[in-house]
Amino acid sequence: MFYGIGMLIGALLLGKSSDIIGRKISMLICLVTILVFGFGSAFAPSMSVMAGLQLLLGVGYGGNIVISTTYLCEFLPKNVRGMALTIVAFFFGIGGMTCVALGMHLIPILGWRKMLMLTITPIFPAIVLLLISPESPRYYLHTHQTDKVVEVLNNISKVNGVPLPDDLKPTRKNMRIQPIVQTKKAGEDVLKNLCDTHGVEYVIAVPHNIVGPRQKYDDPFRNVMSIMLNRMLQGKQPIIYGDGLQKRCFSYIDDCLYCLNALAFQDNVKGEVVNIGPDEEPVTINELAEACANETGVNLDPIHHKDRPKEVKLATCSSDKARKLLGYKTSTNMRQAVKKTADYIRTRGTKKFQYHLPLEILNEHTPKTWKDKLI
């Protein structure tokens, strides 16, 4: 019983710590906890001491199960994560049954104390393997340590002997701040300076790729979800630039409005810059097109055009501050947003795209879809 209570405590407390101090350090703490209190249990002088040691042992095990599972998933593509976790759970059960079988034969010979020490011994090689393993690149990404993301992915590529594709290869050049980000950051800085100079309270909200009903869906230049749905509800194929592996966080309008309302009235957000967006799993443009096809019943066969110049390949965010200060959570995922947006367009009727704004720059870099009004 005490062991189970400890596992619950460890899963709740140590699991969260991995978002703060990293997956490796958190797992190392768990393994050392298992090692210390596992061996300590073998020398327990009484049942009350044993109960306390088992409680602490459970804390280590509970935390390690949560963190190691997260760690494993962050190195795997999402299409194989389910199978990988199934295999892990299978061998976890096999290991438990093996320990029971060994215990039945060895406890009469060695005694329960030595048997307990024997079951803890594999923690030693586990610690060694952890020390030589890389930190999760997703943890580095969420903590904005882009140089370390580059280092980890390049090292993994070298060890496996499989080079990263050039368009996905993380380098300092393609992970630098993009021009669109620089302009937005400049706008934030101007606002901060003006407000600080004149003593005006402010808060800056940064929503990412807002989608949902009432969005202008006849605009050919922006709002990719609405563009795709407007075309596909007319029986046309979606247009995709490049390979469609660009990733975005699509924020449903109601989730954004919840945060904006809180930002307007809460005192604890003064002077803050708050990202709003579903950072749990960025979505590729290909996945968005597939979701739109499933909703509209179109047999998906996208029209591909060459990459747009300087297009951001990974546009994600960290919404940790929004969760902490505003209680933000994603209530509507991408596929639900697609359905609600499609229902809105169906109600209003599809529209012809309006090229009412003249292009300010026309040259060889201007997308052909814009110049020739192909959308």
Summarised one tens digit per residue, pLDDT across range 93-134 is 888 888 888 888 888 888 888 888 888 888 999 999 999 899
Alpha-carbon gap, residue 345 to 209, rounded angstroms? 18
Q: Which of 141-145, 241-245, 321-325, 343-347 has the lowest mean pLDDT?
A: 141-145
pLDDT tens, residue by residue, 70-97: 888 888 877 888 888 888 888 888 888 8
The tally of domains found in the chain comes to 3
Do residues 213 and 359 both lie within one domain? yes
pLDDT of residue 106: 84
- Indicate whether 200 pLDDT > 80: yes
If phi over 0 gives left and psi between -120 and 50 gives alpha, with beta otherwise, what is residue 111? Answer: left
Q: Is position 181 within any domain?
A: no
Do residues 74 and 108 both lie within one domain? yes
Helices then strands, each counted (H, E), the chain: 15, 9
Token couple for 151: 């280092």
Q: Is position 86 within any domain?
A: yes
Residue given tokens 């759970």 in the structure block: 89
| Secondary structure class of 321 (helix, strand, coil) | helix
Q: Average of pLDDT values for 31-41? A: 90
pLDDT tens, residue by residue, 241-292: 999 989 998 999 999 999 999 999 998 999 999 999 998 778 999 999 999 9
Do residues 199 and 245 both lie within one domain? yes
Do residues 112 and 154 both lie within one domain? no
Side chain identity at 76, as an amino acid letter?
L
Residue-range definition of the domain harbouring residue 312? 187-371
pLDDT of residue 62: 87
Alpha-carbon gap, residue 268 to 265, rounded angstroms? 9
Compute CA distances 25 → 15, 39, 75, 137, 314, whole Å: 12, 21, 17, 14, 27
pLDDT-above-70 percentage for the chain:
94
Q: Is position 49 within any domain?
A: yes
Do residues 129 and 96 both lie within one domain? yes
Do residues 53 and 81 both lie within one domain? yes
pTM: 0.57
Do residues 282 and 367 both lie within one domain? yes
- Residue 305 β-bridge partners: 241
Do residues 201 and 116 both lie within one domain? no
pLDDT of residue 288: 96
Do residues 146 and 127 both lie within one domain? no
How far does Cα 73 stand from its chain's mean position?
11
pLDDT of residue 54: 87
Q: Return the higher-pLDDT residue of 218 and 61.
A: 218
